[in-house]
Structure 1
Amino acid sequence: MYWFLLLMAGVFESAFAIGLKLSDGFSKPVPSLLTAIAIALSMLMMSLAMRGIPVATAYAVWVGIGVAGSLTLSYLFLKEPINSMQLISVALILFGVLGLKVTSTG
């Protein structure tokens, strides 16, 4: 349950990162509102996940999911380019996230 909450917190972190870009400095009402909702949901789920997952592990996994998700979403929806070094770097981050999950006591 805690790991599912953490996964969802990371998904919403990715969404709010893209939302920040789409809100254009919070000057566009609908993207700004959706971004604020994504931020609130991400923080709520992160705080609930940390009831059963150590802080350092939860934070690292949350950021890792956010990085990978943001890169993917920015490529798919914002047409931002991705190069091979970025893909390798994100793969290393995800490998680290997997390592944290496997070795976690939470």
Structure 2
Amino acid sequence: MAWIYLALAGLFEVIWASTMKHSDGFTRLVPSVITIVTMIISFGLLAVAMKSLPLGTAYAIWTGIGAVGAFLVGIFFLGEAVTLFRIASVGFIVAGLIGLKLSTL
């Protein structure tokens, strides 16, 4: 169950990172409120997951999900550049996340 909480925490991290971009430095109310609420949810789910997962593994996977998810949001919704180097770099992050997951079996 901890892995499910961790995955959800990562997904909420992607949401808050994306809405933070749209908050224009917390000057727009709706994106700012969504950012803060989803931050709280993300941190709460991470805390629950950390009850039974190692700190380093949980934190690295949480930030990894957020980083990869934000990268994908940037490409698919914000028109950010798609280059071989960027794709390969994110591939290394994904490989690291898989390695961390496999090391805790």
- The normalised TM-score by structure 2 is 0.95
For the residues of structure 2 that align with 1:28 and 1:22, how far apart are their CA atoms? 8
Superposed, 1:1-106 pairs within 5 Å as 1-104=1-104
Q: CA deviation at 1:35?
A: 0.7
Q: Deviations over 1:39-58 (max 9, x none)?
A: 01110000000011000000
Q: Deviations over 1:29-71 (max 9, x none)?
A: 1111111111011100000000110000001101111110000
For the residues of structure 2 that align with 1:49 and 1:104, how far apart are their CA atoms? 13
For the residues of structure 2 that align with 1:52 and 1:78, how far apart are their CA atoms? 36
Q: CA deviation at 1:82?
A: 2.3
4+ residue runs over 6 A deviation:
none
* Aligned residues between the structures: 105
- The normalised TM-score by structure 1 is 0.94
Q: CA deviation at 1:74?
A: 1.3
Q: CA deviation at 1:86?
A: 1.0
Which one-letter code corresponds to 2:82 in the other structure?
I
For the residues of structure 1 that align with 2:86 and 2:13, how far apart are their CA atoms? 19
Which one-letter code corresponds to 1:41 in the other structure?
I
The runs of 5 or more residues in structure 2 that have no matched partner are none
Q: CA deviation at 1:83?
A: 1.4
